[in-house]
Structure 1
Amino acid sequence: MNLDFSFLDASVLQSFVLKGLIFSVQLTLVAMVGGIVLGTVLALMRLSGKPWLAIPAAAYVNTLRSIPLVMVILWFFLLIPLMVGKPMGAELSAMITFTVFEAAYFSEIMRAGIQSVPKGQVNAGQAVGMTYGQTMQFIVLPQAFRNMLPVLMTQTIILFQDTSLVYAIGAYDLLKGLTTAGKIYGRPEEAYLLAAVVYFVICFGLSYVVKKLQNKIAIIR
């Protein structure tokens, strides 16, 4: 196949690969934290029993879960600058888009986690004088996070894989860095092959951690 990886010296790895990998990791962490926070709020809205909270939250979740991510990325990148009247960088646009989009998925995970907590514990919290917010904060949410932690990490792995889609708007992620290096040195096949290997190693390693964590949580239960 005449594959040649000799162009991947230290300078190339630092200038192209490391730069893209750092942004991919940053995007994953920002979207994960923001998505979990916003997703938890959406889950609480849907479980509040109040239609004026539950209906908008359900519409938000169902709409975003029904639209391809790449389309949402293009919407935010192209339409928001027209609305605010000034351009928005690809990196900032990607962070906002991923946070908003992933919140819909994290919301469903958190909703399942909250519902997995026995109602008797909620009733016990209310019996000792706790408000709805205090019951959620001190009793329900800690258990929900623990129960759903493996699923949250699995969704984060999927999120890391999806960061390659920011290539569509020119954001400099891991795939973009390797692709640029491949074009400059005339080795696009090697660059794409290396990108697949890097994504596989990272995601497989994280999947192994999730499996170990899942077994540990099962023992605690």
Structure 2
Amino acid sequence: MSFDFAAVLNATPYLLQGLLFSAELTLVAMIGGMLLGTFMAIIRHMRVPVAAEAIRAYVTLMRSIPLILVLFWFFFLVPLLLGHLTPAGRSIPLGPKFTAFITFTLFESAYYAEIVRAGLKAIDKGQYEGAKALGLSSLTMYWSVVVPQVLRVTAPIIVSQTIILFQDTALVYVLSLTDFFGAAAKIAQRDSKLVEFYSTVAVVYLLICSMGSELSERFRKKQGYRSPRGRFERAKRMFGIARP
């Protein structure tokens, strides 16, 4: 059985449309998740009473259940809950696309919050003490001094988590949305070209995720070069003290 490239080429516009939606969902969920996750991480790091414990419970819940279950909850239960708040008592449909963007953002924020919180712990205490000595407010200290350093330190892990987020976008099929994988699956079943389209999807996912992994590795090497230990190890190799 020959591989039919023409079938894939003819469906390229539809596949690109699905890939664009996957990229859009990934970008929105990453930016929204990072902003919300950073805020939650700072609240936990500052140990704000009640709020810190509530955020800890939220993060634990989100990291303990599968994303597909959260999609179902938000799509079916939230409209019912909103309906009880209206005088008519009718459910308020949110729509599958809105549900996908909100759910992915809320779900990923829990993971980004833990990444940023780990980065906050990795920052030397002298940075916090120096900012306080200069009379900076807590908001200015975190926004101008601490968070930029945290983002540099955690950049490799953030990229890795974003790769996982991109792969998870295929779950929107439960909401009848068409992402890249969904577009390929629909055409493959319609034209009976399963091998061609699933192979194409696998190659595209491999290329995109490989580029993301390479970017993460570059960030990791760059951080190793900037760190005191990384510079020390390179100096040892330069002068022949240790084997390369």
Pairing partner for 1:39 from 21, 37, 40? 37
Cα offset for 1:6? 2.6
Aligned equivalents of 1:21 and 1:77: distance in 2?
Answer: 23
1:105 is matched with which residue? 111
Does residue 1:205 correspond to 2:211, yes or no? yes
Cα offset for 1:51? 2.5
Is contact 2:29–2:101 with CA below 8 Å preserved after alignment? yes
Aligned equivalents of 1:200 and 1:136: distance in 2?
Answer: 37
- What pairs up with 1:54-203 in 2 under 5 angstroms? 54-84=52-82, 85-203=91-209
Aligned equivalents of 2:178 and 2:97: distance in 1?
Answer: 8
Q: Which letter does structure 1 place at the counterpart of 2:39?
A: V
Q: Which letter does structure 1 place at the counterpart of 2:12?
A: L
Aligned equivalents of 2:183 and 2:42: distance in 1?
Answer: 39
**RMSD between aligned residues:** 1.4
2:12 is matched with which residue? 13
TM value normalised by structure 2 = 0.85
Is contact 2:8–2:196 with CA below 8 Å preserved after alignment? no
Larger radius of gyration: 2
Cα offset for 1:2? 4.5
Q: Partner of 1:47: helix, strand, or coil?
A: helix
Aligned equivalents of 1:140 and 1:24: distance in 2?
Answer: 32
Cα offset for 1:55? 0.5
% identity of equivalent residues? 40
C-alpha offsets along residues 150-179 of structure 1, whole Å, 9 cap, x if unaligned?
111110011001111111221110011101
TM value normalised by structure 1 = 0.94
Aligned equivalents of 1:86 and 1:131: distance in 2?
Answer: 42
2:50 is matched with which residue? 52
2:85 is matched with which residue? none
Cα offset for 1:124? 1.2
Q: Partner of 2:5: helix, strand, or coil?
A: coil
Cα offset for 1:4? 2.8
C-alpha offsets along residues 163-218 of structure 1, whole Å, 9 cap, x if unaligned?
11111221110011101111221212322222122111110111112112221222
Q: Which shows bigger deviation, 210-219 or 139-148?
A: 210-219
